[in-house]
């Protein structure tokens, strides 16, 4: 019976719909011998856990070319929509299908984006801390209504943000190389170039994958292009932001603030300058996680592994379909 290693931190040593799906498909569910953190950087430690394993229901651990070459894996089902922790060209070369779980956490990320945005504009949690301590500073901050929100990426998550942002009275801009023009028109979203969006928006919110082409998309130059008093929100990938340049812009007062749910190194090091800035609101990369999305993501990832094992091709979830639907477990 093929063994499936389940690595996401909050699933380790638990049971649920995901384990029922895998077991019903004739797959054996196993968990790491030692509880893994969300980001396993030591390839030897990961390879030790992958010994004798045919597939993995994966978290954010790193699957490098070397790990993939030596692992003997037949399939990887990522419990999330990002896949930058997996060397996709290597997985394709070694005939390892990689799947993600589209459509399972859009609402959760959209809600987190708005929570960060409202927190920055209304001064939380600093106002809460002041009130608890007896301080009564009552700093006045800008109104959010009527501001312009620029969405960098208008895929599933960006689209989930749109009606929620519109309900707050925000005007909407979007940049996406594959922009859904019909959706944009239906929701009164003005399509712009990336440069125009960065220079025009009061809030720049990132909703795109991190690739070799857009790493450090937000850097010293683009931060200078942003309006004075504007806000950056990142619920996408930490690699999109040059964190030192962002800290410089925040310390200089060029930006009103930032709300961040993703970082280059996770967990965010205690030495990070961002952790010391009062105008930054931080979240531990939990944007896509709520009770419903956790269930749906783990179930769909498990179903992808079950489908692959039983000869069904989970096309809408595949990252590297060029392997070919004639692939066999």
Which residues are marked as active site? 237, 266, 285
Q: For the stretch 293-319, what's the b/e string if a residue is b when 16 or more beta carbons lie within 10 angstroms of its beta carbon?
A: bbebbbbbbbbbbbbbbeeebbeebbb
Please give the Cα distance from 178 to 161 (Å, whole number): 17
Within 8 A by CB and 6+ apart from 144, the residues are 117, 118, 121, 122, 168, 169, 170
β-sheet bridge partners, residue 174: 151, 191
Q: For the stretch 158-169, what's the b/e string if a residue is b when 16 or more beta carbons lie within 10 angstroms of its beta carbon?
A: bbbbbeebeeee
Closest to 11 in 3D by CA, of 35, 46, 47, 39:
35
Q: How far is CA 16 from CA 242, 298, 306, in A?
A: 39, 9, 15
The dihedral sign for the CA sequence 199, 200, 205, 209: negative
Q: How far is CA 279 from CA 1, 113, 226, 230, 274, in A?
A: 53, 16, 16, 12, 9
């Amino acid at each position: 019976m093929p063994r499936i290693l389940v690595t996401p931190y909050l699933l380790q040593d638990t049971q649920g719909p995901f384990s029922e799906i895998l077991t019903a498909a004739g797959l054996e569910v196993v968990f790491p011998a030692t509880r893994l953190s969300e980001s396993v950087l030591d390839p030897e430690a990961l390879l030790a856990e992958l010994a004798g394993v045919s597939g993995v229901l994966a978290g954010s651990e790193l699957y490098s070319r070397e790990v993939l070459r030596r692992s003997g894996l037949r399939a990887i089902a990522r419990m999330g929509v990002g896949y930058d922790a997996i060397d996709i060209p290597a997985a394709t070369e070694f005939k390892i299908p990689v799947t993600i779980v589209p459509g399972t956490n859009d609402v959760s990320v959209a809600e987190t984006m708005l929570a960060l945005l409202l927190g920055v504009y209304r001064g939380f949690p600093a106002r809460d801390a002041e009130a608890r301590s007896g301080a009564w500073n009552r700093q006045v901050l800008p109104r959010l209504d009527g501001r312009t929100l620029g969405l960098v990426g208008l895929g599933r998550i960006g689209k989930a943000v749109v009606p929620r942002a519109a309900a707050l009275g925000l005007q909407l801009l979007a940049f996406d190389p594959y922009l859904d023009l019909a959706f944009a028109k239906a929701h009164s979203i003005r399509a712009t170039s990336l440069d125009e969006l960065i220079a025009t928006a009061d809030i720049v919110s990132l909703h795109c994958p991190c690739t070799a082409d857009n790493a450090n998309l937000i850097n010293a130059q683009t931060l200078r292009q942003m309006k004075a008093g504007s806000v950056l929100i990142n619920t996408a990938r930490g690699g999109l932001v040059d964190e030192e340049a962002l800290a410089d812009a925040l310390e200089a007062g060029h930006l009103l603030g930032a709300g961040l749910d993703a970082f280059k190194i996770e967990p965010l090091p205690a030495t990070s300058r961002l952790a010391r800035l009062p105008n930054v609101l931080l979240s531990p990369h939990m944007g896509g996680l709520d009770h419903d999305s956790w269930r749906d993501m783990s179930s769909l990832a498990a179903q992808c592994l079950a489908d692959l094992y039983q000869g069904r091709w989970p096309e809408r979830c595949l990252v590297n379909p060029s392997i070919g639907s004639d692939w066999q477990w």
